[in-house]
Structure 1
Amino acid sequence: MPLSTQPLGSGEPYVLTASLDNARNLSSLLRAVQFQDHATCFATANGLRVTVEDAKCIQANAFIQADIFQEFSVQEESVTFRINLAVLLDCLTIFGASSTPGTPTALKMCYRGYGYPLMLFLEEGGVVTVCRINTQEPEDLLDFDFCSTNVVNKIILQSEGLREAFAELDMTSEVLQITMSPDKPYFRLSTFGNAGSAHLDYPKDSDLVEAFHCNQTQTNRYKISLIKPSTKALALSCKVSIRTDNRGFLSLQYMIRNEDGQICFVEYYCCPDEDIAEAEL
């Protein structure tokens, strides 16, 4: 790859170096969590995690494992920085978002450490573009404390089933109500919009349900405005894991297969709408 011999300049060594033969494998995942302008990036030997939050109610994480990259090197235990996600995506698609599959954009990404910009070297058809994106002080992120030992109910669904549900349900509703139960209706999605109430049920033996592990009946409501950003990841995914814990917190984990057939994950955490729950008491 031409970028492998690209001179990176002198000075302090890079604490993070990553290369991809196809930059779209990164940009498509980042678009799936782009509902705010800024993101926090964490790099460890295991790979890269990009986190976006809003209103202290929702958090999205895109996980890009180290083996997705052709080269991935982290010189410290962990490397963290905040970046303008919109600018990063503009740079990653600088040669155009719809390049033909035969001419992917190669990417080399380098970061020297705190206070330094993120360097992007992008090459397509022998043309190399260098981008420098200023990084910022990382902010404290929410800890949703979503522990697997506290998970009450879990369903793995083929993504087409959830895509159909969101297309059929009334999105003028302020909330999406999710019922998960070991008994009927098993898995129910409900909205309460201008046209009245709408319910969509999935039996546990549905062809769309790949795994069904429900221990107790739970009904929780979540603001539609918080769920909608996750539909970007849903559109790219082939499977979705839907989990709720003992507090009613929701985890939507999307399994996404990139253009090279590799598996990546995007996960959304969402807190329940307590105001509506209290109003019904």
Structure 2
Amino acid sequence: MSVLSQHEDVDEDYLFEAFLDSVKHISVLLRAVNFKDTATCFATDKGLKVTVEDSKCVQASAFIQREVFQQYTLNDEQVAFKINISVLVECLNIFGGSSTALKMCYQGYGFPLTLLLEEGGVITDCSIRTLEAEEILDFNFCAANVLNKIILRSECLKEVFAELDSSSDLVEILLSPDPPYFRISTVGTAGDTKIDIPKNSDMIETFQCTTLATSRYKLSHVKPSAKSLAISQKVSIRTDDRGLLCFQYMIPADNHTCFIEYCCTPVADIDGDYDE
């Protein structure tokens, strides 16, 4: 039993305290959304959400449910703060192994996030400076506006991503109730790449497409989601009536499933091909 877990008395000065008997899962999740240095952390009754944004066009959120933690205490309705996620990930990588326990403590505005990492009775104490949380983007991705949704095994999308032409500036995603059903395309120096996946493919578990929808996205905005894809088992792909693209990655964590949601705005609504 970890030395950290034996201290079950909660310091009321802390707004947020959480304990994990292994740092492994949270470390993997945070690395997957670490494509920018700054993240906003939200602790609520449901668990911990860590959100990273880029250029008001991309937003990735890692969700770690309350049930994943062995101990989880919140002394406010919601606790939010900004942090340098690159520093946080580095601390977990340097001082944390697969058998390292982690305790996180946050006292409130102006105070650091304290990490206590314990392995074999040896405790390492890290303090990371925090900033006041700023309002994050609200893409308002509600179920009523979703036009198309598919759920597929992650191996399938990994193969598709591997075949995309990295010299292309844009990636085009087509979803339709009729053939070709699901198509991902790029145009680069090597020529056109079009990958079609039929709705009856063994890789697709759910296919709910109501209308033909084609949108283009910057490949540089979609690419960082590959880090989340790499650790996931399944992925849900949704598009709404504005062309907003949302990947939801399902990631196993022992007896639980954690999620990373990755949203990306379209370059423009189109019909036809890439030619302007």
Shorter-normalised TM range? over 0.9
What's the counterpart of residue 19 of structure 1? 19
Q: TM-score, normalised by structure 2?
A: 0.94
Unaligned runs of 5+ in 2: none
Question: How far does residue 9 in structure 1 lie from its aligned partner after superposition?
Answer: 10
The whole-number CA distance in structure 1 between the counterparts of 2:95 and 2:111 is 25
CA RMSD of aligned residues (A): 2.0
Question: How far does residue 275 in structure 1 lie from its aligned partner after superposition?
Answer: 8.6
The whole-number CA distance in structure 2 between the counterparts of 1:182 and 1:128 is 56
Kindly report structure 1 stretches of 4+ aligned residues shifted beyond 6 Å: 7-10, 275-279
Residue aligned with 2:229, SS? helix
The whole-number CA distance in structure 1 between the counterparts of 2:146 and 2:22 is 36
Question: How far does residue 230 in structure 1 lie from its aligned partner after superposition?
Answer: 0.3
Q: Which of these residues, 218, 228, 232, is aligned with residue 223 of structure 1? A: 218
Q: Is the contact made by 2:151 and 2:207 (CA closer than 8 Å) also made in structure 1?
A: yes
| Cα 1:7/1:184, change in 2 over 3 Å | closer
What's the counterpart of residue 204 of structure 2? 209
Residue aligned with 2:159, SS? helix
What's the counterpart of residue 183 of structure 2? 188
Q: Which of these residues, 166, 169, 173, is aligned with residue 168 of structure 2? A: 173
The whole-number CA distance in structure 2 between the counterparts of 1:8 and 1:109 is 14
User: What letter matches 2:198 in structure 1?
Assistant: P
Map 1:1-281 to 2 at 5 A: 1-5=2-6, 13-95=13-95, 99=97, 101=98, 104-258=99-253, 260-274=254-268
| Greater CA drift, 63-72 or 131-140 | 131-140
Number of aligned positions between the proteins? 274
Residue aligned with 1:94, SS? helix
The whole-number CA distance in structure 1 between the counterparts of 2:130 and 2:93 is 19
Residue aligned with 1:197, SS? strand
Q: Is the contact made by 2:37 and 2:85 (CA closer than 8 Å) also made in structure 1?
A: yes
The whole-number CA distance in structure 1 between the counterparts of 2:8 and 2:124 is 13
Question: How far does residue 125 in structure 1 lie from its aligned partner after superposition?
Answer: 1.4
Q: Is the contact made by 1:249 and 1:271 (CA closer than 8 Å) also made in structure 2?
A: yes
The whole-number CA distance in structure 2 between the counterparts of 1:165 and 1:250 is 17
Q: Is the contact made by 1:153 and 1:213 (CA closer than 8 Å) also made in structure 2?
A: yes
User: What letter matches 2:258 in structure 1?
Assistant: C
The whole-number CA distance in structure 1 between the counterparts of 2:148 and 2:217 is 16
Q: Is the contact made by 1:45 and 1:77 (CA closer than 8 Å) also made in structure 2?
A: yes
1:216-273 deviation digits (Å, cap 9, x = unpaired):
0001111000001100000000000000000000000000012x24210001010001
Question: How far does residue 59 in structure 1 lie from its aligned partner after superposition?
Answer: 0.3
